Amino acid sequence: MAPVALDADLVIAFLDASDDQHERAVDELRPVLAAGDAVLLSARVYAEVMVRPLQRGSDAKVDDFLEAVGATVVAIDRDIARRAAQLLARHRSLRLPDALSLATALASAADLLTLDHRLQRVAERERPTA
């Protein structure tokens, strides 16, 4: 089971059937869940994912989903913050939220699952080679 870090866009679209990216998110996440891969979210992703559900009073559904899939929320510590800063220094188009998502994946030796094509390209360039 390979760990997979989820970006906020994917989780938001997956949980919202009315989101225009919902089907794509389901197609991306379903195989990960079926394989039983370890699921990670940075604390920043968790915070972003929870905003709208908290406004709507549906936050328990998000927590229930994350618990059901065994997701682990990863704290942003000094190592992850430094990795994010290094990513920002190398990739001028990257924004801090995306850098934190990718830094969490890299620090956890996980693949990043995102719907953001630009971020996915950066993640592929940053993926360690075996």
The number of CA neighbours under 13 Å toward the Cβ of 14 is 24
**127 pLDDT exceeds 90?**
no
Domain 4-121 in this protein, CATH class:
alpha beta
Q: Write the pLDDT tens digit of every residue in 5-57.
A: 999 999 999 999 999 999 999 999 999 999 999 999 999 999 999 999 999 99
What is the pLDDT at residue 107?
Answer: 95
Taking Cα atoms as reference points, which of 30, 3, 36 lies closest to residue 105?
Answer: 3
Cβ atoms of 10 and 115 within 8 Å: the answer is: yes
**97 pLDDT exceeds 90?**
yes
Encoded tokens for 78: 């000094």
What is the pLDDT at residue 1?
Answer: 63
What is the pLDDT at residue 2?
Answer: 81
The number of CA neighbours under 13 Å toward the Cβ of 56 is 11
Helix, strand or coil, per DSSP, at residue 71: coil
Using pLDDT thresholds of 50, 70 and 90, give the confidence band for residue 130.
low
Q: Write the pLDDT tens digit of every residue in 73-89.
A: 999 999 999 999 999 99
Alpha carbon distance 82, 86 (integer Å)? 6
